[in-house]
Structure 1
Amino acid sequence: MKTKYIDLIDQTYYFPQEEFTLQNETLKFHDIDLMALVKKYGAPLKFTYLPQISNNIQKAKKWFDTAIKNRNYDGKYHYCYCTKSSHFEHVLTEALRNDIHIETSSAFDINIVNNLLKQGKLSRDHYVLCNGFKREQYIRNIADLINNGHKKCIPIIDNFEEIDLLSEAIDGKFDIGIRIASEEEPKFEFYTSRLGIGYKNIIPFYNRAIADNEKATLKMLHFFINTGIRDTAYYWNELLKCLKVYIQLRKICPTVDSLNIGGGFPTKSSLAFNYDYEYMVDEIINQIKIACDEAGVPVPHIFTEFGSFTVGESGGAIYEVLYQKQQNDREKWNMINSSFITTLPDTWAISKRFIMLAINRWNDEYERVLLGGLTCDSDDYYNSEQNMNAIYLPKYSKTKPLYIGFFNTGAYQETIGGFGGLQHCLIPTPKHLLINKDKDGNITTEVFAEQQRAEDLLKILGYDEN
């Protein structure tokens, strides 16, 4: 009978995989010796593997370039990174090495854009698409960017008032987009997105506020699906509704020449993950071309806004199992030396699944367990490993430390968790590493942030150090 952890993984999934391999019963991630990281830096530990950001960008650009060529699509493709997924400088620096553009969500994003412009990592040839609900500070920052010569900054109109606010703040002519308020999936608590302008209101809005506007020129229609780009009847139906609006606009507004198909690609959340990216890209291009050709209008240039897809698969977290609590006849709780609520908040907030694997002891027998965090909150646990509805790990031993890893955690977790700030029950933020490869393929590591100290948290709370 096969009872080792390695047997369980081998029987359940195809293993090894592109990014996961095994060497001497320990896990390697993109050829990174994870136990070596633990021995050098300790645990808990979070890391960002920077090359994966470029890898994913280049994959997507290739898929779109191939589809455009195969379908004889007479339009260009532009890859945009959603800064809200991860605002860190090392993430933006790596992403911008790939000739991409930026999508912003709020006022302070423009401060990041200005910083990148000063460093020469961003230029006036890069598009800056400004999404989100805009008020005074955001409007002012967008206006300053455009007034200073960044003509490829395109604010995406989210509500009827924004065009007047922008017109007042911007000195000369400027381009704009309009965001469609798409209809949500039936399982949502609401029917229509709170963001954007309804399908039926866009043409009247254009005729009323844009057609004769001497300053604003409509260039883009923004289509965003909250659940992302998926091969579902819901997604294709919403895309076709968007195309009908684009076609109507194009017939009365020759300047609208771009379609922003927001809503990102999914990231790998399980070793059993299966998603045909190439098919989806090809079919999107195909559907757009068919609709436009039938209507006799030029196809639009395509913009995408990929946030989680860009940065998600670059991140990981490593924890040590501190102790096992046998709470009843059936439940064994493996307690980690950190907190899920604070370090991977999406596991708590939206029951998100990440790839979870043991780092070491793959040749040991396995057992079914629950994973608990250190806070006093009853919701601080992880118990949703995909395709198994349970978590299996090498058996707990007081004399043989066990380390576990969560992977593809690079999007949103730091910003939602409040990186560098207060954490629930004052559990400190773990040490964070940046991992890269040099020109010869050698792995390099550097500490981006040390684990929080008591002094850091007390200072935030206003306690006198004396």
Structure 2
Amino acid sequence: MTDAVIGWEQTSPVPDGTYFNAYLNVRDGRLYFEDLDLAQLFLGGGPDQGVGRTLSSPLEIVYLPVIRRQIERMEAVFAEVRAELGYAGAFLYAYASKANAAEEVIRTTLSAGAHHEMSSTIDVDIARHMIRRGLLTPDRLVICNGFKPAGSDYATNLLRLRADHERLVPVIEDLGEIAPFLTSGYHFDVGLRQKAYGANTSEAEIEAANSRFGLDVTQLWRAADYIAAAPNLNLTLYHYMVGSQLADPERFLAYLKPGIELYARLRRRYPSLHIFDFGGGMPVAMTLDFNFDYRGFARMLLQALQETCRRYGVPEPDVMGEFGRYTTAEHGAHLFKVLTVKENKSDLPWYLIDGSIMSSFPDSWALGEHFIVLPLTHLDKPFQQVQLGGITCDSDDVYPPKKSTSPLYLPVETDDLYLGFFSIGAYQEMLGGVRGSKHCVLPEAFELIVERGENGRYRFDLLPGQNAHDVLANLGYRV
């Protein structure tokens, strides 16, 4: 396996006009996020971008146009392949909200036309809020994953939400979850989740899999029979999620094939079933070496569904994906300033930044996850290989991750050197805790929400971070 490419990998300056990916590019020695000069946010000067003042680091960037772009791209991919193959079913894009539940994110996914997926009782409150604002419209499916046993707050809250939204689809994870919906007095379309997470390529492997998610094959048929006999329940969706960030299209499809087979068998007995939900797993570029053939995967998936459904004599299903990381990873960035350089007799100099890496990006130290790191300034100057240290006193507050062999290069010039971590918009803020107490009692950074109008002009909303009083009060100190 080759090393992940996390940034510029040469000692020479970055040529002007370089595009690192679809949205990060270099102009006059500075890094731009599409057309937004990131260094100008801190240094000022140049044409007015509309922020109104210079900002301090650390700074979180929430770039909402990327979310719309991701949704539109995936919908276009499946539309092209469906037309090419003459595929009869629809494609349904759902946003998996656990990736990032921020108001501006969910508002943007809904305004872009996505269906909505959720997994907890607070998610139900968020959905109700979006319904009241007219953003979660009656035509949208709301897929209700997660454990929802009878009597739980989640199950009870879902029953209340049904009064406000008809297209609510509880996805059953356990046989004991059916009863509240059966006795609710409402009609419900329901789904069944297969125990499928992991590298299972046959029904026997599914049955033997160790997963806390979903029903085994025997339970699946029992639940389907139970639902079919219920006067107010209608089986419409089969959920078969096999993993996360599956970067090999052939392997992704191989894991899905047993579920495609089971869907066709279920559909033959239960004609109301019409949605094959492959859940999550769609990968996204976390590093600069990412390469995934979305169109090729969509073609293989729809062809497999066509062939299997033809063999069983059943209609081709509507296909749903639950896109969390894919939707939100690239819309988020976190910008820091390099405070000082310490040689410390190490092979590589330490560049120390004004924030915490491990608090801001928990997956980096917990899972060894890589993210893109690029300088905002001095890209026209020589580079050297370095290691980054956060401002905390924790030995794990470093980047690249401790076991990583990926090199990190940054400019030798460190006066007014700012840098950014990119592709951090999924899970990192939610795992680190929004408005929570951070490691080594660091305050939460300011957040700049970026929107772009049809005329190309930027609009900004600056959300304040925490000050010392906020941090102390959050920890119970009354000062």
Which amino acid is 1:376 matched to? C
Find the aligned partners of 2:87 and 2:425 in 1 and give their Cα distance.
Answer: 33
Please state if 1:97 is matched with 2:111: yes
Matched pairs, number: 453
Find the aligned partners of 2:120 and 2:279 in 1 and give their Cα distance.
Answer: 17
Find the aligned partners of 2:18 and 2:212 in 1 and give their Cα distance.
Answer: 41
Please state if 1:373 is matched with 2:387: no
Please state if 1:326 is matched with 2:326: no
Q: Cα deviations across residues 91-120 of structure 1 (Å, max 9, x unaligned)?
A: 112111222210001011010111011111
Find the aligned partners of 2:37 and 2:252 in 1 and give their Cα distance.
Answer: 40
Find the aligned partners of 1:16 and 1:298 in 2 and give their Cα distance.
Answer: 43
Report the Cα offset of residue 391 of structure 1.
Answer: 1.1
Indicate how the Cα distance of structure 1 residues 279 and 385 shifts in structure 2: closer, same or farther if over 3 A, else same. Answer: farther
Matching residue of 2:244 = 227
Match of 1:193 among 194, 204, 211: 211
Q: Cα deviations across residues 145-188 of structure 1 (Å, max 9, x unaligned)?
A: 12x152210000011100013323x21321110011114139xx
Matching residue of 1:317 = 334
Find the aligned partners of 1:405 and 1:346 in 2 and give their Cα distance.
Answer: 16
Report the Cα offset of residue 406 of structure 1.
Answer: 1.0
Report the Cα offset of residue 336 of structure 1.
Answer: 0.8
CA contact (8 A) 1:343 1:429 kept: no
Matching residue of 1:383 = 400
Please state if 1:151 is matched with 2:156: no
Find the aligned partners of 1:153 and 1:424 in 2 and give their Cα distance.
Answer: 39
Matching residue of 1:37 = 41
Find the aligned partners of 1:436 and 1:36 in 2 and give their Cα distance.
Answer: 17
Indicate how the Cα distance of structure 1 residues 256 and 117 shifts in structure 2: closer, same or farther if over 3 A, else same. Answer: same
Match of 1:440 among 447, 455, 472: 455
Match of 1:182 among 196, 209, 227: 196
Find the aligned partners of 1:174 and 1:329 in 2 and give their Cα distance.
Answer: 63
Find the aligned partners of 2:92 and 2:239 in 1 and give their Cα distance.
Answer: 13
TM-score, structure 2 as length reference: 0.89
CA contact (8 A) 1:229 1:263 kept: no
Match of 2:156 among 128, 140, 149: 140
Matching residue of 2:292 = 275
Which amino acid is 1:107 matched to? T
CA contact (8 A) 2:249 2:293 kept: no
Which amino acid is 1:111 matched to? D
Write the mapping of 1:273-422 to structure 2, written as runs, cut at 5 A: 273-384=290-401, 389-395=406-412, 397=414, 400-422=415-437
Q: Cα deviations across residues 268-298 of structure 1 (Å, max 9, x unaligned)?
A: 1222221111111121111111111121111
Q: Cα deviations across residues 122-166 of structure 1 (Å, max 9, x unaligned)?
A: 1222110000011311101111112x1522100000111000133
Matching residue of 1:78 = 92
Find the aligned partners of 1:58 and 1:243 in 2 and give their Cα distance.
Answer: 26
Matching residue of 2:5 = none
Report the Cα offset of residue 356 of structure 1.
Answer: 1.0
Provide structure 1 residue ranges, at least 5 long, that are not aligned to the other structure. none
Please state if 1:18 is matched with 2:22: yes
- SS of corresponding position for 2:281: coil
Provide structure 2 residue ranges, at least 5 long, that are not aligned to the other structure. 1-7, 44-53, 201-207
Report the Cα offset of residue 443 of structure 1.
Answer: 2.0
Structure 1 window deviating more from structure 2 (58-67 vs 373-382): it is 373-382
Indicate how the Cα distance of structure 1 residues 179 and 376 shifts in structure 2: closer, same or farther if over 3 A, else same. Answer: same
CA contact (8 A) 2:330 2:422 kept: yes
% same residue: 30
Please state if 1:164 is matched with 2:179: yes
Indicate how the Cα distance of structure 1 residues 120 and 385 shifts in structure 2: closer, same or farther if over 3 A, else same. Answer: farther
Matching residue of 2:12 = 7
Report the Cα offset of residue 55 of structure 1.
Answer: 0.8
Indicate how the Cα distance of structure 1 residues 229 and 298 shifts in structure 2: closer, same or farther if over 3 A, else same. Answer: farther
Please state if 1:431 is matched with 2:435: no
CA contact (8 A) 1:260 1:303 kept: yes
Indicate how the Cα distance of structure 1 residues 80 and 232 shifts in structure 2: closer, same or farther if over 3 A, else same. Answer: closer
Indicate how the Cα distance of structure 1 residues 22 and 234 shifts in structure 2: closer, same or farther if over 3 A, else same. Answer: closer
Write the mapping of 1:231-250 to structure 2, written as runs, cut at 5 A: 231=248, 234-250=251-267
CA contact (8 A) 1:5 1:393 kept: no
Report the Cα offset of residue 8 of structure 1.
Answer: 6.2
Find the aligned partners of 1:220 and 1:241 in 2 and give their Cα distance.
Answer: 16
Find the aligned partners of 2:332 and 2:376 in 1 and give their Cα distance.
Answer: 15
Which amino acid is 2:454 matched to? K
TM-score, structure 1 as length reference: 0.92
- SS of corresponding position for 1:283: helix
Indicate how the Cα distance of structure 1 residues 328 and 77 shifts in structure 2: closer, same or farther if over 3 A, else same. Answer: same
CA contact (8 A) 1:434 1:445 kept: yes
Matching residue of 2:141 = 127
Find the aligned partners of 2:319 and 2:182 in 1 and give their Cα distance.
Answer: 26
Report the Cα offset of residue 193 of structure 1.
Answer: 2.5
Find the aligned partners of 1:388 and 1:7 in 2 and give their Cα distance.
Answer: 21
CA contact (8 A) 2:339 2:352 kept: yes
Indicate how the Cα distance of structure 1 residues 38 and 267 shifts in structure 2: closer, same or farther if over 3 A, else same. Answer: farther
CA contact (8 A) 2:277 2:321 kept: yes
Which amino acid is 1:53 matched to? I
CA contact (8 A) 1:321 1:334 kept: yes
CA contact (8 A) 2:331 2:423 kept: yes
Please state if 1:264 is matched with 2:281: yes
CA contact (8 A) 2:31 2:377 kept: yes
Find the aligned partners of 1:225 and 1:271 in 2 and give their Cα distance.
Answer: 25
Structure 1 window deviating more from structure 2 (194-203 vs 89-98): it is 194-203
Find the aligned partners of 1:19 and 1:406 in 2 and give their Cα distance.
Answer: 14
